[in-house]
A and B are shown apart, each in its own frame.
Chain A
Amino acid sequence: MWKAVKDREAGFLLPSSFATRIRSHRVASLDLSNHKEIVSPHNGAINSLQVDLTEERYLLSGSSDGSAAVYDIQHATDYERGLIAKHKSLFVVDKQHNHGHRYAISTAVWYPVDTGLFITGSFDHYIKVWDTNTTQVVMDFKMPGKVYRTAMSSIATTHMLIAAGSTDVQVRLCDIASGAFTHTLSGHRDGVMSLEWSTSSEWILVTGGCDGAIRFWDIRRAGCFRVLDQARSQLGRRPLAESTSKKGSVTGQSSSAKSMVSQRRIPLGNETKQLRALHKSQHLPRGPVVQRLHPGLSSTHNRAVAHYGAVTGLRATGDGMYLLSSGSDSRLRLWDVDSGYNTLVNFEAMRLQPTKALQLAVTQDSSLVFVPCLSTVKAYDVQSGMTFRTFCGHYELVNCCCLSSQDQELYTGSNDRQILVWSPASPVIAEVEEGKGGWVSVADQDNWSD
């Protein structure tokens, strides 16, 4: 970092590249935090975690015990032995609360504009909008089934819609402004476990159903305009994004990298040929053609699936170019949003929870994706699919991960009721100044040996 700071001030390194380089260095060094802990007040599995979008200061968690809590992740409530920052919840709303959810909270999200509101969805069929300052419910929506996921668009400027997926086949859009459902999106043949608003257009919503389909909706028009098909790929056409070459941080994996490249080279030629043939016969399934299909979509397209089994998680990259999906088939897929093609990036072997909605996280530069894999969290290189890191720390199944792009800290929630903080390597504990701190490290070591 010292060299980067030096190069930045002399103009050798562009400020934007500086930030990217520092962030990727820090993300590459993520490990279980040695100086920060979140004290979970929950008595059930942690199902949802989100850091607020305005200041990235407040973490919101939702748990199976029907409670939701907020933590200040920038400002510790107290320090253990003067060094380990303890972040206790600022408040908890649980079943005891007058308007609390009766069953598990499956999803808890911040209102994207400020931290004055947050939204929880529960298996008790209700979606509730809370006032953060008074911790009172200001609005609720009764859904036809258990709520799996809610989502709000972080870039929306003209609407305040909560998209909600439930055990019901229909996706509903709840309007905070009016307190009513504005849209009912029909198309999925089973419940909808995952939802994601586009990061490039405030009108585009992506939903992943238990029927294995991923559907794109333009909420200004009727019907779904795209269904992702895992069999439609465009391999080899588009050169892999520059990010693969940019990452100086990904080192020490040269052998696996080479094997990856060679693995991928073989099918490359064949696929390209097939594709070109496909193009000729179909006259490009894009542009005006797609427009014509919409809203009805031809029945073959309409039945396409993205995963065998349920789509359990969706995450769009920050640039809006790619979509990542996880399925109960234990697959992670990378989709090119513009064309709707499956990029066929082979994410190395993993086992995913099949029955629960998963919350994935992607780094700001879209280079790494964090995926809850049973009791671990794995970080994969988005473009190559290689495992970058495996984070072991939870004792039971991990449900959600959330990355704070401001601090490059990863928060993970698990069935073991813990929220773990993974932070960039910091020599805080190792670096003990003479005199004052000396005994602390000794005490610390003693604790470890116990």
Chain B
Amino acid sequence: MGSTAIPPISTRGTGDVLKSNKLVDNKDARHVKTYEVALKDKDFVEGPWSQNNLDNGAGLLIPVPMPLGGVIIIGEETIVYCSATAFKAIPIRPSITRAYGRVDADGSRYLLSDNAGLLHLLVITHERERVTGLKIEHLGETSVASTISYLDNAVVYVGSSYGDSQLIKLNLQPDAKGSYVEVLERYVNLGPIVDFCIVDLERQGQGQVVTCSGAYKDGSLRIVRNGIGINEQASVELQGIKGLWSLRSSTNDPYDTFLVVSFISETRILAMNMDDELEETEIEGFDAQAQTLFCHNAMHDQLIQVTANSVRLVSSTSWELLDQWNASSGFSVNVATANASQILLATGGGHLVYIEIGNGKLVQAKHIQMEYEISCLDINPMGENSHYSSLAAVGMWTDISVRIFSLPSLELLTKENLGGEIIPRSVLLCKFEGVSYLLCALGDGHLFNFLLNKSSGELSDRKKLSNSLAIAKEGELSIGTIDDIQKLHIRTIPLGEHARRICHQEQSRTFAICSLKNCQTITEETEMHFVRLLDDQTFEFISTYALDTYECGCSIISCSFSDDNNVYYCVGTAYVLPEENEPTKGRILVFIVEDGKLQLIAEKETKGAVYSLNAFNGKLLAAINQKIQLYKWMLREDGSRELQSECGHHGHILALYVQTRGDFIVVGDLMKSISLLLYKHEEGAIEERARDYNANWMTAVEILDDDIYLGAENNFNLFTVRRNSDAATDEERGRLEVIGEYHLGEFVNRFRHGSLVMCLPDSEAGHIPTVIFGTVNGVIGVIASLPHDQYLFLEKLQSNLVKVIKGVGGLSHEQWRSFNNEKKMVDSRNFLDGDLIESFLDLSRSRMEEISKGMGVSVEELCKRVEELTRLH
């Protein structure tokens, strides 16, 4: 049973009487009754008709506009049209209809979508105003719809809360699979973010968020990172592209004709044919069975292909192999570059090889060995001779430097240490307005530029452009800061099932998820729960552990135990028996990843659902129903391991969310806010230290620092509490003092420490700790703990901004951000609205000046401070 949405029925009659329908569920039977709303009396009057004993799953009413009038009642097994004069019913395949959309203004056709995302068309057949029957037709599959809006010309918007929203076209003829639905566009929706983790898969110091998003069949993992959005103009479906070069068929040809696409183990060539279409072709002299590292047009109508093993010189007219240089065995080529007459390449072991290109010949002119591996190279010609460079730039691993060599002697001219830990990823010798520069881009998106003395190779006037991006076009190069074009880059890994918990294991380079699959049988809908292991690069399932019938995965962590070097995945589960309100049995499963497989090492039965797991002092801390329980990892006599309970703590209603720091345990309770527990090593006991006595229904907690804890609650608010360890009385020490309150307007499911931006040791932003949160609506947000003076400054700015920027519809910002629950409404405090503050940068100059005057701070200074803030995310 559940409550039922009651849409108002068409207005009929005198205008002051509205009709309202209602499903009354009394035990299993469902009925429809009509009421008239007597506006004058502000009361209901029994309406003209009612219908008893409908489909037991009847849960959706669709009002049919005049002149037909009446209502469509959607059940799980039947659809009924009902009005004062007519009653028509048709059976349907058992399904739960989630959304409907009206197609025609006269209300004779409706689109229906069920929770498997199947789209149906329901037609009311009628002769004039007399309804003669109902017809239903299957159209195809879309995302699981929450709303359906018929736009026009058979184009429909399918809004989804559990997957990507779609713009679809309904075709007159079915496609090969019998579907009338054609997806025109998808709109990314991350919601509901049930869980997420922050990982640095590329090990560049930049965090990526991997979310458990979507539900039902639209469940997916989404990899979110700061990146650059590019509008796609045309695409070829190719997986795993590693490199891309364009080639001309002859040196003097004005246009490129070939596109060389390199994959991990092959190289393919696409050529533009007579119809200006891309078509796959072959160049005989090229090695098609290897990944191409570099490709270039060379003098004398020749082409260069560099692979890991060789350099091939190919005629661009006959496509024959003219000459080949082979890398010495054991040292494959790592990076290579070339211009029209020269090739510079680096092989493993720090070997730098210089090759000159002759007519049909490759000549190894020089070879030196460096102390470290080489990360990038450039020999772009800058002199008068556009085919020949006298300088080479080389970026190094390990000592993080760039070096300038002279060519062809490969003599070291200059070495410049860049500092930091981020390696140079790309170097470029170039010339702006007749002045030579060396540009060097780091893995984190920073760019160095140096003035280059062409003859001596000296570098001077070092500049670091933070967060900048260089875009090279023909004959020009523009440098912009990333802020202007920064965008979140989202990659989707569809799972086809609902992932609920995720964690990453650095050592095995895997993710583990707890997921569930809805299985619809004819009689009932069942859920199957799994623990799945995914490769952290390919995101493929590499191992699966199926949980028992009725068993659900509730929590997962990757951890290790004291006296044991292995790293394990620990999974907490619950047995959700249909007859039980609260699970009374669960398990903690300990897995190890061996050969890419999940191996169950130990299991421990618990007396309830394991809502949360934490690694705690080399032990395992579990939240089981109302209890916090600590387990130690014991070695049995036979050498196997087991979890043994050490101590516990009662006194919660449901301990749903737990975070730990040192010996402290912070518990977010179902309805009793945050409490702080302490583990006492000597006594081997956990005891309560302090508690927030407000009645907050928690949805997530996180520890910001030793004394301050962050919580999110059921009414979309955030708050922070502080431990008063120095207070005078026991009473005060036992109380977590609320110090910050804020209305976020989003339901937070998870907090995690981390950041989406590069953590740079030298930037100011690097010292500001941030927490990322994920919400049901698919919002990813950042909470930063600002230093006090910066907070005061920005608070002042915010209060000035509120005066200038008016909310939509004149709604008050202050009121919107007020902490607001069933019991109280108080002004927000100790929280700032970053979105509002950053909107300063979008203001017109005159309004900026207005604020600057109010603040007594220059516009430039304000911009600088706000930009600092924007760099936190």
Task: Name A's B-contacting residues (CB within 8 A).
Answer: 1-3, 5-6, 8-12, 15-19, 22, 25, 29, 35, 55-57, 74-75, 83, 237-239, 242, 245-246, 248, 254, 257, 261, 284, 406-407, 426-428, 431, 433-436
Contacts and interface: CB of A to CB of B under 8 A. Distances in A.
A431 B776 CA distance: 34
Which 3 pairs between the two chains have the least Cβ-Cβ distance?
A406-B695, A11-B776, A11-B192
Nearest to B647: A436
Contacts of B192: 9-11
B26 A9 contact: no
Given A11-B192, A239-B35, A426-B626, 6 more contacts: A9-B776, A11-B215, A17-B3, A19-B822, A406-B695, A407-B653
A223 to B, nearest CB: 26
Given A3-B576, A9-B776, A406-B671, A15 B24 contact: no
B776 A10 contact: yes
B742 to A, nearest CB: 17
A237 B45 contact: yes
A3 B609 CA distance: 11
Interface string B257-270: 00000000000000
B70 interface: no
A80 to B, nearest CB: 13
From A2, A19, A29, A284, residue with most partner B Cβ within 10 Å: A2
B582 A10 contact: no
A245 B776 contact: no
A15 B27 contact: no
A25 B581 contact: yes
B648 A433 contact: yes
Interface in B123-178: 161-162
A11 B747 contact: yes
Given A19-B697, A261-B26, A10 B581 contact: no
11 contacts: A2-B574, A2-B582, A5-B656, A5-B670, A9-B776, A19-B671, A56-B695, A238-B44, A239-B44, A245-B1, A431-B625
Contacts of A257: 26-27
Q: Majority SS of interface residues in chain B?
A: loop
Interface in B495-541: 498, 500
A49 B267 CA distance: 83
Given A74-B691, A237-B45, A431-B608, A1 B35 contact: no
B215 A10 contact: yes
B720 interface: no
Interface of B: 1-4, 22, 24-27, 33, 35, 41, 43-45, 161-162, 191-192, 194, 215, 498, 500, 552, 554, 574, 576, 581-584, 607-609, 611, 625-627, 629, 645, 647-648, 650, 653-654, 656, 670-672, 691, 693-695, 697, 699, 714-716, 734, 747, 749, 776-777, 822
Given A11-B191, A55-B693, A2 B24 contact: no
A242 B627 CA distance: 36
Contacts of A434: 645
Contacts of B656: 5
B695 A428 contact: no
A1 B670 contact: yes
A110 to B, nearest CB: 15
A407 B607 CA distance: 23
A11 B161 contact: yes
A427 B161 contact: no
Contact of B694 (A6, A55, A246): A55
A5 B35 CA distance: 35
B734 A245 contact: no
Contacts of B574: 2
A346 B699 CA distance: 41
Contacts of A75: 691, 734
Contact of A19 (B41, B714, B734): B714
Given A19-B714, A406-B671, A9 B3 contact: no
A5 B734 CA distance: 28
B216 to A, nearest CB: 9
A19 B670 CA distance: 9
A248 B43 contact: no
Nearest to B747: A15
Nearest to B24: A245
Given A11-B192, A11-B776, A15-B716, A433 B645 contact: yes
Contacts of B608: 427, 431
Nearest to A431: B607
A239 B24 CA distance: 10
Given A6-B500, A434-B645, A238 B26 contact: no
Contacts of B191: 11
A6 B552 contact: yes
A284 B645 CA distance: 70
A171 B607 CA distance: 56
A265 B782 CA distance: 58
Contacts of B24: 245
B734 A10 contact: no
Contact of B581 (A1, A5, A55, A237): A1
From A6, A8, A11, residue with most partner B Cβ within 10 Å: A11
A201 to B, nearest CB: 17
A390 B27 CA distance: 23
B693 A57 contact: yes
A22 B776 contact: no
Nearest to A76: B651
Contacts of A436: 647
Contacts of A18: 697, 714
B670 A239 contact: no
From A12, A22, A35, A245, residue with most partner B Cβ within 10 Å: A245
From A75, A254, A407, A434, residue with most partner B Cβ within 10 Å: A75
A203 B549 CA distance: 58
A16 B191 CA distance: 19
Contacts of B654: 1, 5
A25 B653 CA distance: 13
Contacts of B554: 2
From A1, A74, A428, residue with most partner B Cβ within 10 Å: A1
A183 to B, nearest CB: 28
B576 A2 contact: yes
Given A237-B43, A238-B43, A433 B697 contact: no
A260 to B, nearest CB: 11
B515 to A, nearest CB: 12
A2 B714 contact: no
Contacts of A12: 215
A433 B695 contact: no
Given A1-B582, A1-B654, A25-B581, A242 B3 contact: yes
A2 B22 contact: no
Nearest to B734: A75
Contact of B498 (A10, A55, A74): A10
A269 to B, nearest CB: 10
Nearest to B584: A427
Contacts of A29: 581
A238 B22 CA distance: 13
A16 B192 CA distance: 17
Contact of B27 (A17, A56, A74, A254): A254
Contacts of B695: 55-56, 406
